[in-house]
């Protein structure tokens, strides 16, 4: 793979609800560009993105896969994320290091729960994005219905850059409103716009030009004066409004059939921001907060957004070069652990394939194996300028289960293995409950926990059993009680006393549920004069 400078890099997260077609979209892109000779299949377990055994078994993406491709002298780092909401931590990590996102929506199912979750995090991180209405070749596909639904759900201005030519079995290609051409079939052959779509295309293009004019004062003035904008000026204006989040471009495709792919890649290169175009990353420096711009001339800072355990290579650390240039065979400073680590075998990943590179420029994504102490969320930098990039906020656990080793040999591996799993996945955690003597593993859902347990067995040779989580009951007083005791005391006569103790429970702070009061009702009876003359109880005798 060639060397790419910051302005020629595009980091794009593919996000959606499960089943919208992200993985097959990346598979189609790889085949369309000639990276692969055969297009893989999710059902056959032959895709580049879903290379883990568990992903093949479930036919489901479980972790984010890096898919870098080269197109028009640019490098596009696709991050293929899981769509199942149990694995939302992977989506958060990918969007945190991406500079833009393609939100993929099924043309039949429309906007779903996973779509809304991913959209909310793209909003939170301020990511420019496209809305890609995929699977237009499916029966009952409806472009306008999905677009109307998106407009109703999301607080955004959607701007169609393409119109579909047909739908379902009649889907032939896309009508592009920038080039005013149609692109037909898997070869994306360029043709004139069909007559039946000409009026709709002209009307939609006028909206596009108006949006582009908003992105630049000079273009707006030119537009208001009635002058026509050139193709380059339209692209320039659209880049501005897209980067600011003022408009969300809407595209169409049939990923598995490779229809619409060429223009998707063109628009990513032309309209999506490079790392140099996004706001600086805030970090904690030696003298307070600093801003790190994606610039080769800046101080070195590489943020670790993901770590995995490979049974053959060992630990693999995924990072983004936030600032500076990261070279091979150098020593860097881990600002979080305050230790040095050696960078060797610098690479970029394509699925599970490691592609060696001599260096990575600011804004690029890469990997390095066998960093002994570095964990997800750490920052690698120059020792002379220590900086820490903060981690994003991950959701708290929603589901938990008790786990126990199956054998005595597994017991010694329990703590270290669960810690390694939690290090790889910030939404996974564990603790030992001293009250119930159980080890609790918690995550985002039952699928999430099940995958973690299977990973413990396949990657770390730890066999775990599961059991229900016990409730740590504790005894306490829950209702009013009363007791009576007759105390006899001989002092020269027949003297006795009745002592009654009454404990009442009162409603108190809801957080405490109740509180106890130490009110004692002391009733004395049949006192003789001789007993009373002693002065009653000695101090402390009545302290029950």
Tokens of 423: 């290090």
Whether the predicted pLDDT of 43 surpasses 50:
yes
Note whether 268 and 382 are same-domain residues: no
pLDDT for position 500: 62
Does residue 543 lie in a domain region?
A: no
Question: Looking at the 3D structure of the chain, how many domains does it have?
Answer: 4
Note whether 287 and 433 are same-domain residues: no
Does residue 213 lie in a domain region?
A: no
pLDDT for position 498: 64
Note whether 40 and 96 are same-domain residues: yes
Whether the predicted pLDDT of 458 surpasses 50:
yes
Does residue 166 lie in a domain region?
A: yes
Note whether 413 and 487 are same-domain residues: no
- The span from the CA of 539 to the CA of 532, in Å, is 15
Choosing from 256, 277, 298, the residue where a domain stops is: 277
Going by pLDDT thresholds of 50, 70 and 90, the confidence category of residue 216 is confident
| pLDDT, averaged across the chain | 90
Note whether 96 and 23 are same-domain residues: yes
Residue-wise pLDDT for 465-507, tens only, equals 999 999 887 776 667 766 666 666 655 555 666 666 665 555 5
CATH code assigned at 302:
2.40.30.10
In this prediction, residues 117-144 reach a mean pLDDT of 97
Choosing from 389, 413, 431, the residue where a domain stops is: 389
- The span from the CA of 317 to the CA of 370, in Å, is 8
- Number of CB atoms found within 10 A of residue 290's CB: 19
Note whether 348 and 201 are same-domain residues: no
Residue-wise pLDDT for 138-150, tens only, equals 999 999 999 999 9
pLDDT for position 225: 84
Note whether 360 and 436 are same-domain residues: no
Whether the predicted pLDDT of 514 surpasses 80:
no
Note whether 372 and 503 are same-domain residues: no
CA atoms within 13 A on the CB side of 334: 19
Whether the predicted pLDDT of 342 surpasses 70:
yes
In this prediction, residues 291-320 reach a mean pLDDT of 93
Edge-to-edge strand order for the sheet containing 330-334? 339-343, 330-334, 379-381, 301-310, 314-323, 365-369, 347-350, 353-356
Note whether 29 and 121 are same-domain residues: yes
Residue-wise pLDDT for 370-412, tens only, equals 998 999 999 999 999 999 999 999 999 999 999 999 988 889 8
Going by pLDDT thresholds of 50, 70 and 90, the confidence category of residue 222 is confident
Percentages of the chain per state (helix, strand, coil), in multiples of 5 = 30, 30, 40
CATH code assigned at 194:
3.40.50.300
- The span from the CA of 541 to the CA of 535, in Å, is 12
Residue-wise pLDDT for 11-37, tens only, equals 999 999 999 999 999 999 999 999 999
Q: In residues, how long is the chain? A: 544
pLDDT for position 148: 97
Going by pLDDT thresholds of 50, 70 and 90, the confidence category of residue 314 is confident
Whether the predicted pLDDT of 80 surpasses 60:
yes
Choosing from 389, 423, 438, the residue where a domain stops is: 389
Does residue 184 lie in a domain region?
A: yes
Tokens of 155: 């607080």
Of all residues in the chain, what percent carry a pLDDT higher than 90? 78
pLDDT for position 472: 83
pLDDT for position 220: 87
Of 261, 265, 260, 267, which is closest to residue 238 (Cα–Cα)?
Answer: 267
Tokens of 266: 């063109």
Does residue 238 lie in a domain region?
A: no
β-sheet bridge partners, residue 433: 438
Of all residues in the chain, what percent carry a pLDDT higher than 70? 87
Residue 254's domain spans which residues? Answer: 6-205+246-277
CATH code assigned at 436:
3.30.70.870
Note whether 331 and 412 are same-domain residues: no
**Beta strand ranges found along 418-462 (DSSP E):** 429-433, 438-443
Of 532, 544, 440, which is closest to residue 500 (Cα–Cα)?
Answer: 544
Whether the predicted pLDDT of 93 surpasses 50:
yes
Whether the predicted pLDDT of 217 surpasses 50:
yes
Note whether 343 and 378 are same-domain residues: yes
Q: Which residues contact 506 (CB under 8 A, 6 or more apart)?
A: 514, 515, 517
Of 384, 387, 370, 237, which is closest to residue 303 (Cα–Cα)?
Answer: 387
Does residue 127 lie in a domain region?
A: yes
Of 305, 300, 342, which is closest to residue 322 (Cα–Cα)?
Answer: 300
Does residue 112 lie in a domain region?
A: yes
Main-chain phi, psi angles of 197, to 5 degrees = -110, 0
- The span from the CA of 3 to the CA of 5, in Å, is 7
Going by pLDDT thresholds of 50, 70 and 90, the confidence category of residue 133 is very high
Element (H, E) at 199: helix 195-214
Note whether 349 and 459 are same-domain residues: no
Strand bridging mode 514-517 / 494-507:
antiparallel
- Number of CB atoms found within 10 A of residue 362's CB: 26
Does residue 214 lie in a domain region?
A: no
- The span from the CA of 20 to the CA of 117, in Å, is 14
């Amino acid at each position: 793979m060639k060397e790419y400078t910051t302005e020629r890099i595009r980091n794009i997260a593919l996000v959606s609800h499960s089943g919208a077609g992200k993985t097959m979209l990346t598979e189609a892109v790889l085949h369309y560009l000639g990276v692969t000779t055969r297009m893989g299949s999710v059902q056959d377990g032959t895709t580049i993105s879903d290379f883990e055994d568990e992903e093949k078994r479930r036919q489901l993406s479980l972790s984010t896969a890096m898919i870098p491709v080269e197109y028009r002298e640019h490098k596009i780092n696709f991050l293929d994320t899981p769509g199942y909401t149990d694995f939302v931590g992977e989506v958060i990590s990918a969007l945190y290091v991406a500079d833009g996102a393609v939100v993929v929506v099924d043309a039949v199912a429309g906007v779903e729960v996973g779509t809304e979750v991913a959209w909310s995090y793209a909003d939170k991180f301020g990511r420019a994005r496209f809305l890609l209405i995929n699977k237009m070749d499916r029966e009952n596909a409806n472009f306008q219905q999905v677009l109307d639904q998106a407009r109703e759900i999301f607080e955004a201005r959607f701007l169609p850059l393409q119109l579909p030519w047909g739908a379902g079995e009649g889907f032939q290609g896309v009508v592009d409103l920038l080039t005013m051409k149609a692109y037909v079939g898997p070869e994306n052959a360029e043709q004139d716009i069909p007559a039946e779509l000409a009026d709709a295309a002209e009307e939609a293009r006028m909206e596009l030009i108006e949006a582009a004019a908003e992105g630049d004062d000079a273009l707006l003035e030119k537009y208001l004066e009635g002058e026509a904008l050139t193709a380059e000026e339209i692209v320039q204006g659209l880049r501005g409004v897209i980067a600011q989040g003022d408009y969300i471009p809407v595209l169409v495709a049939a990923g598995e059939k490779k229809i619409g792919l060429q223009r998707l890649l063109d628009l990513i290169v032309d309209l999506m921001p490079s790392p140099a175009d996004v706001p600086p990353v805030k970090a904690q420096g030696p003298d307070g907060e600093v801003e790190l711009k994606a610039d080769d001339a800046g101080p070195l800072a590489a943020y670790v957004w993901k770590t995995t355990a490979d049974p053959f290579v060992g630990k693999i650390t995924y990072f983004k070069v936030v600032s500076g240039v990261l070279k091979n065979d150098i020593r860097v400073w881990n600002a979080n652990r305050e230790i040095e680590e050696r960078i060797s075998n610098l690479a970029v990943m394509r699925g599970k394939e490691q592609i060696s590179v001599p260096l990575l420029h600011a804004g690029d994504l890469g990997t390095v194996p066998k960093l002994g102490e570095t964990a997800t969320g750490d920052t690698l930098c120059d020792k002379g300028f220590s900086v820490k990039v903060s981690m994003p906020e991950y959701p708290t656990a929603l589901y938990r289960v008790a786990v126990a080793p199956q054998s005595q040999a597994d017991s010694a591996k329990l703590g270290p293995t669960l810690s390694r799993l939690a290090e790889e996945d910030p939404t996974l955690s564990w603790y030992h409950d001293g009250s119930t003597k159980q080890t609790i593993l918690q995550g985002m859902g039952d699928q999430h926990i099940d995958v973690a347990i299977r990973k413990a067995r396949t990657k770390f040779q730890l066999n775990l059993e599961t059991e229900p989580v016990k409730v740590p009951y504790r005894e306490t007083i829950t209702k009013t009680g009363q007791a009576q005791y007759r105390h006899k005391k001989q002092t020269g006569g027949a003297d006795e006393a009745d002592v009654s103790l009454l404990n009442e429970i009162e409603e108190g702070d809801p957080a405490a549920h109740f509180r106890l009061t130490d009110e004692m009702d002391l009733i004395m009876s049949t006192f003789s004069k001789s007993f009373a003359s002693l002065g009653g109880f000695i101090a402390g005798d009545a302290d029950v």
